Amino acid sequence: MTFEVIHEKGIHARPAMELVLLADQFDEAIYIEADGRRVDNKSIMGLMSLGMYKGQIFTLEVNGPNEKDVLDKLSNLLIDSGLAKRI
């Protein structure tokens, strides 16, 4: 699923940690890819290393038995918190 960062400050430390904590609740493999780099969404250091800025396009990938449910929950967090929009 593809998103665009819409928050003025990008995906900074606090919301990045919320994403990591949510992702960590699931057994599925969860990745975020931006600017040709792919990181584990369960790693705060990996996620922060992307430097997610306003306007950046990224993809969220979930692999595992409950892919759709996990993707929906992560997507809802991104959208409901005003961090990103689906494109």
Provide the whole-model pTM: 0.93
Question: Catalytic pick from 1, 6, 7, 12?
Answer: 12
- Report CA 65 to chain centroid distance, whole Å: 19
Q: Are 87 and 45 in contact (CB under 8 A)?
A: no
pLDDT in tens, the chain (87 residues): 999 999 999 998 999 999 999 999 999 999 999 999 999 999 999 999 999 999 999 999 999 999 999 999 999 999 999 999 999
CATH level 2 (architecture), domain 2-86? 2-Layer Sandwich (3.30)
Is 7 labeled as catalytic in the residue annotation?
no
By the 8 A CB rule, do 26 and 4 touch? Answer: no
